[in-house]
Amino acid sequence: MSHCVLAIGAHPDDIEFGMAGTFILLGRAGCKLHYMTVANGSCGSAAMDAETTVRVRTQEARNSAERLGAVYHPPIAADVEVFYEKTLLARVASVIRAVAPDILLVPSPFDYMEDHVNTCRLAVMGAFCRGMPNFPVIPPRPAIDRPVTLYHAQPHGHRDQLNRFCEPDFFIDIGSVIEEKTAALAEHKSQQAWLDASQAMNEYLQTMQDLCREMGTLSGRCTFAEGWRRHNHLGFCEPGTDPLGEILGDYLLTRPTA
């Protein structure tokens, strides 16, 4: 059976920052890739108005998805309007039913930014509702019974809302695809000035590589890595199901024990 992967991020460029290395490796292994951000990036500029910002950032996300070899799914909310509420949940769940992934890559449940946290909640519950015929989705789609395994990426900066370090359960060595990951993030050209102004990221591509290098150092076994945690299986798949580990076993690292 061909594996299907859906990556869901909060904003354009979030997938590239935290998930793209693993995403690329899954594509190289023959998986079908799907790419979605819940928010449209509307607040991600200090120079352009919201309408222009959305247009620019949507095109950047489309370009990145194409570079990654993924099917692009358009956003469904404005920035800072990603709330855990019924309409957005119904729309996220509809996408999940349409794609029917068996691997779902989602943000961390703990992060400095509420859009990220709420995107995680929407994605997790949207997947949980995939098989519920009595939960109406927008647009309407029938429930599906395909098992799905969820994996949480690291929070941005590897730290939660209280600035505590979040340690992953395992790592994926992305050294072989760091240049491809960087090129995908570089499609989001509008974010250089914005991230510099809003979050003091003088060079966002370098920031991303530094974060991946931090994970590589933590693994003790590679230079660049992405960290992951597997979600509880209940309501999603059988205990012990780990398609990501099965597909990318050659790249999967666990932290050495003392």
Using CA atoms, how far apart are residues 91 and 208, in angstroms rounded to an integer?
30
Does the pTM exceed 0.85? yes
With 0-12 / 13-18 / 19 or more C-beta atoms within 10 angstroms meaning exposed / middle / buried, residue 232 is exposed
* pLDDT band at residue 192 using 50, 70 and 90 as cut-offs: confident
Alpha helices in the chain (DSSP H): 14-18, 20-28, 50-68, 86-99, 114-128, 178-186, 191-199, 204-219, 243-247
Mean pLDDT, residues 182-205: 75
- For the chain, the structural domain boundaries read 4-253
Mean pLDDT, residues 42-64: 93
Domain made up of 4-253: CATH architecture: 3-Layer(aba) Sandwich (3.40)
pLDDT at 200 over 70: no
Would you state the pLDDT for residue 243? 98
Would you state the pLDDT for residue 257? 62
Mean pLDDT, residues 41-47: 88
Model pLDDT for residues 215-254, shown as the tens digit of each residue:
999 999 999 999 999 999 999 999 999 999 999 999 999 9
